[in-house]
Structure 1
Amino acid sequence: MILAVLFANVEGNILIERVELEHCCRFSGVPAEERLHWRSFLVKLGADNLKGVRNEELLVASHKSVYIVYTVLGDVSIFIVGKDEYDELALAEVIFAITSALKDVCGKPPTERLFLDKYGKICLCLDEIVWKGLLENTDKERVRRLTRLKPPTEF
C-alpha cells in the first residue's frame, strides 16, 4: 500500500501532503505527534541527502518497516512512502509517473512559484495516479485526458 505522497520546497516546508489512508484516521491511525514525526523525518531525510542530486535521481530509504523513495525535481522534493507490495521498485514506478505528470503540467522542472501556480492541476494528477493507496494510472496521456475535467471519450 502507498501510505503517503509528500512534496516539499528547498527549505523543507510541505507543499502537498497526500496521506492515502484517510479512512484509517491518517497515517494508519497514528496520533498527530507521530504524523509530525514522519513529516519531520522525511524533510530531514531530504535535507541530508538531496543536496547536489540531479533532477529525478532516485534515492531509497527504509524506516520502521516502510520504504521511502524520494527525489528532487526543480525546486521541489518528492517523497513516496509505501509498505508491503509497494517496495522500492514499485515506488520507483509511482514516482516516475508523478514526476512525468508534474513536468507535463508545469512544462519544465518546477520552481516553487510555478508549482504553487499549478497546485490544483497537480492535485488532480495525483488523484488520477494514486487512489486509496494503490497505483491507478501510469500513462501520462491517460492522466492528461482524465484531468481535463471532461468526460472521457475512450477507455
Structure 2
Amino acid sequence: MLLAVVFANSQGNILVERFNGVPAEERLHWRSFLIKLGADNLKGVKNEELLVACHKSVYIVYTVLGDVSIYVVGKDEYDELALSEIIFVITSSVKDVCGKTPTERLFLDKYGKICLCLDEIVWKGLLENTDRERISRLVRLKPPTEV
C-alpha cells in the first residue's frame, strides 16, 4: 500500500499531504520524521535526484523539485523501485501543470490542479495511472466526449 505522499517547502512546512491507511495519531510522527529526513539529507541535492530510506519496515523515496520537497512512503509491494516510478510520475505531472520546475509560489498557484493530478495517480493507497498524457487529459475537467 502507498501510505503517504507529502509535499513540503524548503522551510519544512507541509504544502500537500495524502495519507492512506495511517491512523490519525501516527500522522504527526510521519510528518515530523519526513521533514527531519529531508532537512538532514536534501541540502545540495539536484532536482529530481532520488534518495531512499527505510523506516519501520516501510520504504521512503524522496526528492527535490524546485522549491518543493516530495516524499512518497510505501510498504509491501510498494518497495523503493515502485516508489521511484510513482515519484517520477508525480514530478512529471507537477512540471506539466506548472509549465516548469515549480517555485513555492507557482506550486501554490497551481494547488488545485496538482491535487487533481495526485488523485489520478494514487487512489486509496493504490497506484492508479502512470501515463502523463492520460493524467493531463483527466485533469482538464472537460466532458469525456471532448477528449
Aligned to 2:113, the other structure's residue is in SS state: helix
Q: How does 1:104-143 map to 2 (within 5 A)?
A: 104-143=96-135
TM-score, normalised with respect to structure 1: 0.91
Which residue in the other structure is 2:14 paired with?
A: 14
Deviation at 1:35, TM superposition (A): 1.7
Structure 2 portions without partners, runs of 5+: none
**Structure 1 CA distance for aligned equivalents of residues 66 and 17 of structure 2:** 18
1:115-151 CA-to-partner distances (Å, cap 9, x unmatched) read 0000000000000000111111111110000001123
TM-score, normalised with respect to structure 2: 0.96
Structure 1 portions without partners, runs of 5+: 22-26
Deviation at 1:37, TM superposition (A): 1.3
Equivalences, count: 147
1:19-50 CA-to-partner distances (Å, cap 9, x unmatched) read 123xxxxx1x3x52x32111100000000000
| Identity between Structure 1 and Structure 2 (%) | 81
User: Which residue of 36, 44, 48 maps to 1:52?
Assistant: 44
Runs of 4+ in 1 over 4 A off after TM superposition: none
**Structure 2 CA distance for aligned equivalents of residues 154 and 105 of structure 1:** 20
Matched to 2:39, the amino acid is A
Q: How does 1:4-153 map to 2 (within 5 A)?
A: 4-21=4-21, 27=22, 29=23, 31-32=24-25, 34-153=26-145
